[in-house]
Amino acid sequence: MDNVQYTQMTDYNTSPVFDMDKALNRVHGKQELLARVISIFKKNLQEKKQSIASELTAENWDNLKMISHSLKGSAWTIGAQRLGEIAYAMEKASATEDISSFKHLLTILEESIDDINTYFEHHNY
Amino acid sequence: MKKNNIRFLIVEDDEMIRIIHKDFLEELFPDCKIFEAANAAQGICLYFECRPHLILLDMMMPLMGGETFLDILEEGHRTKILKEKPKIVIVTAIKDVKELMEIGKRFSVEAVISKPLVQSQLKALLEDWIS
């Protein structure tokens, strides 16, 4: 019987999907610059999601740790708090090569990526 | 260090973060020159090309990370191939305290700042160094 207690999406719901004030503050209130960095962030998010999937197949833990770490840094920088926290948990799961936790977190990450993309669409980014 | 013509090198794999760093530096020092590298290998090449006064360095990067960058510069100083000692500020998302302390103890490192970068922290440092 599997007694492992996984984190759930609801565990991350207290963190905002996107903190607009933080993001604007980061770019000194420059809307054009914010649009540019969000566009790069969205592109990178898709690339990282695909890289995680392929590295997971190969169980390449060093690369998984690197990608999760990078995702954490960029997410927190731009104010994508929830994604940053999930990526941080993935980075820790990579360090211990905990494949079941990592796979579980990946499903939460995918859901969270959908949420942030919806947020960006609603805000015309 | 004088404000006019100050040269910065940003070594950071994330394009978005490079843009944010660059905008921050340009706001603070409109006359500065900024060079950008996406990994430590590019960073080393640019270092020899542009001789920056100040370097913002990420640690975990693909191909070659910040640690190797520091190793190469420190070896250059040890063997006296490098005369100038640029100020290196580590900007990293590493959260492990021991690891951060080890980085901070390195000869070439002036300061370690956590990501997400608190720009006021970096501003205070830079204003202290640059007149």
The CATH class given to the A18-122 domain equals: mainly alpha
Q: What is the mean pLDDT of residues A58-70?
A: 96
pLDDT at A2 over 60: no
Strands B33-37, B109-114: pairing kind: unpaired
The secondary structure of B73-107 as a DSSP string is HHHHHHTTS-----EEEEEE----HHHHHHHHTST
Distance between CA atoms of residues B6 and B29, nearest Å: 8
pLDDT at A3 over 60: no
- The shortest C-alpha distance from A49 to chain B (Å) reads 15
Burial of A16 (0-12, 13-18, 19+ CB in 10 A): middle
Query: In the numeric block, which tokens belong to residue A1?
Result: 């019987």
Taking only the tens place, the pLDDT of each residue in B37-46 is 999 999 999 9
Instruction: List chain B domain ranges.
Output: 7-129
Query: In the numeric block, which tokens belong to residue B52?
Result: 């920056």
- The shortest C-alpha distance from A3 to chain B (Å) reads 29
Beta bridge partners of B8: B34, B54
Q: What is the mean pLDDT of residues A22-41?
A: 96
Q: What is the mean pLDDT of residues A33-62?
A: 96
Distance between CA atoms of residues B53 and A37, nearest Å: 27
| Interchain contact B118–A (C-beta under 8 A) | no
Mean residue pLDDT of chain B comes to 94
Q: What is the mean pLDDT of residues A83-106?
A: 96
Selecting from B14, B23, B92 the residue whose C-beta is nearest the C-beta of A33 gives B23
Residues of B in contact with A37 (CB under 8 A): 16, 19-20
Q: What is the CA radius of gyration of chain A?
A: 15
pTM above 0.95, yes or no: no
B10 phi/psi in degrees, rounded to 5: -105, 120
pLDDT at A1 over 60: no
Q: What is the mean pLDDT of residues B45-73?
A: 96
pLDDT at A125 over 50: yes
Query: In the numeric block, which tokens belong to residue B53?
Result: 């006064």
- The shortest C-alpha distance from B113 to chain A (Å) reads 12
Q: What is the dotted CATH code of the domain comprising B7-129?
A: 3.40.50.2300
Cα separations in angstroms, A84 against B46, B86, B93: 31, 32, 11
Instruction: List chain A domain ranges.
Output: 18-122
Which residue is it, tokens 């370690």? B112
Interface list for chain A against chain B, based on CB atoms closer than 8 Å: 26-28, 30, 33, 36-37, 40-41, 44, 66, 69-70, 72-74, 76-78, 88
